[in-house]
Amino acid sequence: MALVLQILIAVALLAGLISVFLSAKNWHWTQVVLVLFVFLSGLGVLYLATKTASAHKKLRANIPRLEKELADAKAENEDWIKGTDEREGLRQLEHRLAIAVRDRGRVWRQVRPVGQLDAQKHIEVEVLQPQPHSIEQDAIIFAFEAGPPDVAEPDNGAQYLGEFRVVETSPTGVKLEPVHLLHARTGKRIDQSQGPWSLYETMPADRHELFANFSEKELRELLPAKALDEHVRHGTPATADDDQWDVIGLDENDERVGPDKIDTAVKRLYSRPLRDYAILFGELAEQRVVMLASIQAVAGDNRLKETALKSAEELGEFREEEIRNLAVDLTGMERDREAIESHRDMLLLQLKNAQQLIDAKLTENSGLAAALTKRQLGLLRYINSTAPAPASLNRIGP
């Protein structure tokens, strides 16, 4: 292709030079130089354009391959970040690492609520120990009712009260406001709570060691039925139905093996999945707000539909009343029409009789007119026959 292009450029150059040489006999030398310069410039631009196109072609030939490599690299990065079915991603590992190594933070126990929630949903609590309590304003606090929960009656037992922000501090306590929207049940629970509360600077971490020394009977007394099975099964042989992320492997020395060597494990045990309750409660609160907004939107739509339905019913009643009134009007109009048609028929009959009378009178008048004319002609002949001739007609001569 390059050889053909070079040959074409050489032919064009030779043809141009011959044309300029032949034109030199009739043109001024300045015109010849100008045309030659334009011609050579055009050839240079053409040559550079071909080189540019060739360079672009070579460079663009690698674009599909580079784009595919980039897409593959992005997909691999997403897999490493989010994880796949075969391995956990960076986010899951960071989550597990944060749960495993984070500190519990400070805890204030035997905290007593003072009064109930006010109009701004604030509540004051009394912190007796330690003194000073060292709780800073705008700090985030997780509040729990002290004591074990009542599994039989969850609404009456101790429970998680929510995430609060410190809006005001005093030497003997703090004023709290909920971070998330309080629903009626939690608000009632806070108002009725007599304490004591436990305030945590950090949401307590979920750890396997918390329930390691409890028997199944004790677990049944402490935990709700929905969470009991996974706590009881923790550390027992895994089954085929267990999620692969909830299975750990042990070698012949009861040492844990890595996920990549799980196939070589001598024992495969079920490991209860740990949870970050601060994130879970936050997500549930967000979902609840979305659900409440959806409920309000649906309720608003229902009110609009009920208003529209009521308006439609009122309009239907109005139209039915119109139909009844129009039916009455139609009956009256039909009676009027019958009366008008009867009156019309009578008028037509009278008109017919009048026309007959007119025709008879016309016939009679024609006869009387003919008789009168005949009489007048007879009188005219009689007058003419009895009257003397005019004097001018009897004179003879001048």
* pLDDT tens profile 268-293: 888 888 888 888 888 888 888 888 88
Residues 361, 292 share a domain: yes
CB atoms within 10 A of CB 238: 19
Residues 200, 262 share a domain: no
Residues 6+ positions from 112 with CB-CB distance below 8 Å: 125, 126, 128, 195, 196, 197
Residues 156, 110 share a domain: yes
Do the domain assignments include residue 331? yes
Burial code (b: 16+ CB inside 10 Å, e: under 16) for 252-261 equals eeeeebeeee
Average confidence (pLDDT) over 108-125 = 88
Q: What angle do CA 94, 98, 103 make, to 5 degrees?
A: 165
Average confidence (pLDDT) over 69-91 = 84
Residue 284 CA to residue 221 CA, distance in Å, equals 26
- pLDDT tier, 250 (very low <50, low <70, confident <90, very high otherwise): confident
Average confidence (pLDDT) over 109-118 = 87
Residue ending a domain, choose from 273, 293, 321: 273
CA atoms within a 13 Å half-sphere pointing along the CA-CB vector of 375: 6
Domain with 268 in it: 214-273
Do the domain assignments include residue 389? no
Do the domain assignments include residue 8? no
- pLDDT tier, 115 (very low <50, low <70, confident <90, very high otherwise): confident
Residues 164, 112 share a domain: yes
Residues 144, 123 share a domain: yes
Do the domain assignments include residue 48? no
- pLDDT tier, 323 (very low <50, low <70, confident <90, very high otherwise): very high
Do the domain assignments include residue 127? yes
Residue 161 burial (10 A CB sphere; 0-12, 13-18, 19+)? buried
- Structure pTM? 0.47
Residues 350, 298 share a domain: yes
Binning the chain into helix, strand and coil, the percentages to the nearest 5 are: 60, 15, 25
- pLDDT tier, 229 (very low <50, low <70, confident <90, very high otherwise): confident
Q: For residue 166, what pLDDT is reported?
A: 93
Residue ending a domain, choose from 205, 239, 257: 205
Do the domain assignments include residue 395? no
Is 99 a residue whose pLDDT tops 70?
A: no
Is 155 a residue whose pLDDT tops 70?
A: no
Q: Report the domain count for the chain.
A: 3
Give the type of residue at 344: R
Chain segment 180-193, per-residue pLDDT in tens: 888 777 888 888 88
Chain segment 347-363, per-residue pLDDT in tens: 999 999 999 999 999 99
Percent of the chain surpassing pLDDT 70? 86
Residue 121 CA to residue 188 CA, distance in Å, equals 12
DSSP count for the chain of H helices, then E strands: 9, 9
Residue 179 burial (10 A CB sphere; 0-12, 13-18, 19+)? middle
Residue 56 CA to residue 46 CA, distance in Å, equals 15
Tokens in use for 54? 């060739």
Do the domain assignments include residue 19? no
Residues 330, 285 share a domain: yes
**CA–centroid distance for 187 within its chain:** 32
Residues 234, 157 share a domain: no
- pLDDT tier, 398 (very low <50, low <70, confident <90, very high otherwise): very low
Do the domain assignments include residue 47? no
Residues 280, 266 share a domain: no
Q: For residue 98, what pLDDT is reported?
A: 63
Q: Please, are residues 13 and 43 in contact by the beta-carbon 8 Å criterion? A: yes
Residues 159, 118 share a domain: yes
